[in-house]
Amino acid sequence: MSSRHPGIGMTSQRTRLRMVERLRSQGIRDETVLAVMGEVPRHIFVDEALASRAYEDISLPLGFGQSISSPHTVARMTELARAGQPLRKILEIGTGCGYQTAILAKLAKQVYSMERIAALIRKARKNLREAGIANAHLRHGDGQVGMPEVAPFDAIIMTAAATQAPGALLEQLNVGGRMVLPMASNNDQHLCVIERTDKGYIERRMDPVKFVPLLPGVG
């Protein structure tokens, strides 16, 4: 139970299991991802005033023009990044409140996450400590640059929409690794999976989504 949200924790396990059943009915097939979604207490990662809605399939505001993605979006991006394979090292662009980070940290040995808004990364560090996550390494910085000094990564997840995948990030993928990001074109967005092969990159267009735009620099 989270000490920040007394009372909610008493029903959160049951509520999380209902969320997992909903995700399964919505087409999430990776049982490892589903198990982790049922394990991580999402209510820790949202503002206390919104904690009662933490397990609904909606995005919720975090302040600073940012939001926590819906459980289905988090599960789907994680499923696409994992592709049924074990992950050693993951890079996340856009830490936000740390919820997606926590999910990834349960699936990989090490997660590296970048956030351009300093106040959010402070909040994420606190949330991850409360959730007992010790293998996530957070950095305040421009996500488009990535972390070349700790590359290559088995997977890269970007939680902001771009018109094209940043070249610096693609170069930080392992051969056989996958980058999952929202791609914006005209007035719509869709998830995109880019796999690095020994001959180049293969791009697949997936589900429609809605994310805030990728911004350069730090705030």
On whether residue 86 sits in a domain, the answer given is yes
pLDDT tens for the chain, 219 residues long, are: 444 554 455 457 889 999 999 999 999 999 999 999 999 999 999 998 999 999 999 999 998 888 999 999 999 999 999 999 999 999 999 999 999 999 999 999 999 999 999 999 999 999 999 999 999 999 999 999 999 999 999 999 999 999 999 999 999 999 999 999 999 988 899 999 999 999 999 999 999 998 888 887 776
Among residues 69, 70, 113, 185, which one is catalytic? 69
On whether residue 213 sits in a domain, the answer given is no
pTM of the model: 0.93
**Residue 70 is a catalytic residue:** no
- Domains in the chain, number: 1
On whether residue 2 sits in a domain, the answer given is no
On whether residue 3 sits in a domain, the answer given is no
On whether residue 217 sits in a domain, the answer given is no
On whether residue 50 sits in a domain, the answer given is yes
Owning domain of residue 41: 8-208
Cα separation, 3 vs 149, in Å, equals 37
CATH number where 77 lies: 3.40.50.150
CB under 8 Å to 64, separation ≥6 — which residues?
A: 117, 119, 120, 219
